[in-house]
Amino acid sequence: MKKVLLGMSGGVDSSVAAILLKKQGYDVIGLTMNLHEKNDANFGNDAKELCKKLGIEHYTCDYTEEFDEKVISNFVCQYKNCKTPNPCIECNKYLKFGAMYEMAKKLGCDYIATGHYAITEYDEKYKKVVLKKSKSLKKDQSYVLYNINPEVVEKTIFPLGKYESKEEIRDIARKNGFEVANKPDSEDICFIPDNNYVRFLEEEKNFISKQGNIVNLDGKILGKHSGLYKHTIGQRKGLGISNPVPLYVIGYNIEKNELIVGEEDKLYSNEVILENFNNLLGIEIDGLKIKAKIRYSSKEASAVIHKELINGKEQIKIIFDERQRAITPGQSLVAYIDDVVVGGGIISNL
């Protein structure tokens, strides 16, 4: 019997994943990762009770230090550099598919599993196990999984990937008598439960508002801002400036502490420079035609990957067929061929 370590939050997705894995004949062990709930005596109890009901082992492990180092510190650093990070991507890389994978090996497990909506399966074209979109495109989470280690892909199972709706998952939970069937989805950043990242940066990470100028591309001063970290590319509201034509945040001058604004046309570009490209497929990507997303919620668009040498250093550039709106440094670009994840990287260009 193959043994699998399942990441369990106590929510409906990971709970149903446990049910499905058991029905498929796996020896399941549940793992609840304490990432940021410091000194919470009740942490992991929901998952522990579910595992008890299913008759499977359960562990709760403290990863708060690793989470702080790899996820929260990166989140803070990105905002200090006027970038907009996606902390879930870092968490998946280092914690849920990094630390958990290492734990699985210690426990003698053959696989790890989570309640993410994605698919891993052998693909004849690439002669390997690949990461694919889930059948439920509304719930698909392959975007936030692009940065995991390629080695881990073939050791990962996503039991929910081939279900077409969340309601199917809730039905399975109900039929098995799980009270979590109607538990709402969590959509906030887990360590910022009110989703107010400005409050988090100021109250918990000592960011200090520093007033500066809002300028147009000609350097003309149009108003004042109270902190560059409070503004994102594409923002229109809340700038406190008036202009005959609507103006949007199009960039930053960190050295001068200036927020740069321009008309909407200036938000569009067809070129993206990427840092730390993770080639999940391990194939030659120069000249590769792909579909790409520049943020989790964006639509895919046709593009080509190019490798370039800049000052002796290889650089990955993505050129879209059509210009994209509000390409945002710190966010990730993820590349697909059909439903297969090619890989992706962090957007670096302003």
Catalytic residues: 91, 190
d(CA 46, CA 307): 48
Q: Rounded to an integer, what distance in angstroms lies between the CA atom of residue 110 and that of residue 275?
A: 32
C-alpha distances (whole Å) from 40 to each of 109, 180, 236, 288 are 28, 20, 40, 48
At position 267, the amino acid (one-letter code) is L
d(CA 20, CA 35): 25
Q: What Å distances lie between residue 298 and 74, 286, 294, 324, 334, CA to CA? A: 23, 24, 6, 10, 11
Residue type, 281: L
CA distances from 199 to 94, 196, 311 (A): 26, 6, 40
Maximum separation of any 2 CA atoms in the chain, in Å:
69
Among candidates 144, 180, 118, 149, which has minimal Cα distance to 340? 118
